[in-house]
Amino acid sequence: MLYQPWPWYVAGPLIALVMAVLILMGKRFGMSSNLETFCSIGGAGKFTDYFKVDLKSRRWNLLVVFGSVIGGFLGAHLLSPNPAVNISDATVKKLQDLGFESAGTSYLPTELFSVEALTKPSVWIILLVAGFLVGFGTRYAGGCTSGHAISGLSNLQRPSLIAVIGFFIGGLIMVHIIFPLIFGA
């Protein structure tokens, strides 16, 4: 059971539990503010006051990040004998049409996330641009999936609903309009 993929009705409530534990520790559930902390550690405070923060106050969240790295290691290396993700047949078909032959056989598409894929400059650009959009967008919107979709909506915040609608507008544009342009050719 532990070694099979966990169903949504187990994962969802456990995520809510993680959020509640962090709130009960006097903190909050937000993963993207750590990106700001990385900038501050790197000396970005020299360029703008936005990154001048008391690093001590951010320490707890870096520990959560460190933990999630460990969790990823445990999940992948101890708890997952079979890394294949059982996505729907319709999705496999759509991805194969886009050139993703690894669909349904691996955890991440090897076309983007394997060491061999990094021999292609286009893959570097795709990964870098994707990361850039996530970083820029999440700080502009003041939160990511954890901060808005889970924490903000759990607290019935209208701004978070607007942000989540934005997440979906962006995601749908990317998958339905931009993917065929970059992968389909």
Query: Whose structure tokens read 């394997």?
Result: 114
Per rule CB under 8 A, count of chain residues that contact other proteins: 126
Check binding of 53 to other proteins (CB under 8 A): no
Residue 69 CB, nearest approach to other proteins (Å) = 4
Would you say 99 or 132 has its CB closer to other proteins?
A: 132
Tokens of 86: 């059982």
Give the torsion sign (CA, 40, 43, 44, 48): positive
Nearest to 92 by CA among 104, 109, 80, 74: 104
Q: Pick the binder of other proteins from 82, 96, 122, 155 (CB under 8 A).
A: 155
Check binding of 180 to other proteins (CB under 8 A): no
Q: Cβ distance 86 to 8 under 8 Å?
A: no
In the range 81-140, which residues lie near other proteins by CB under 8 A?
A: 85, 87-88, 90-91, 94-95, 103-104, 107-109, 112-115, 117-118, 123-124, 126-140
Check binding of 75 to other proteins (CB under 8 A): yes
Q: What distance lies between CA 67 and its chain's CA centroid?
A: 15
**CA 55 – CA 98 distance, rounded (Å):** 44
Q: Pick the binder of other proteins from 46, 48, 57, 181 (CB under 8 A).
A: 48
